[in-house]
Amino acid sequence: HLAYVATGMLDGCVDFNVKIWDLAAAIPLVRAAGGEVHFLNGAQLPLRQFDLRMKGIIYVAGSPAMCARLRTIMQG
């Protein structure tokens, strides 16, 4: 999903239950394209806390305006 956001094929996305290895390479792509990625638990991406039993991560991504809109909807 994040690669589609980075290329402009999607305006934004919401995803849940993803693992750190699903996000680590794609987040810089989104940011380089001018987008944002926000984690709904308020934390940053825990790159130094690799654990196969780690709980899924919930995030929104897109332009700043789209992220604000998606966060409002998700936190409802």
* Per-residue model confidence as pLDDT tens digits over 15-40: 988 888 888 889 999 999 999 999 88
**Are residues 47 and 24 in contact, defined by beta-carbon separation less than 8 angstroms?**
yes
In this structure, what CATH number is given to the domain that contains residue 15?
3.40.190.80
E runs forming strands in 1-76: 12-18, 36-39, 57-62
What is the residue range of 51's domain?
2-75
Q: How many domains does the chain have?
A: 1
- Indicate whether this model's pTM tops 0.85: no
**Are residues 30 and 54 in contact, defined by beta-carbon separation less than 8 angstroms?**
no
| Residue 20 backbone zone (phi > 0: left; psi -120 to 50: alpha; other: beta) | alpha
* Per-residue model confidence as pLDDT tens digits over 45-66: 666 666 777 777 889 999 999 9
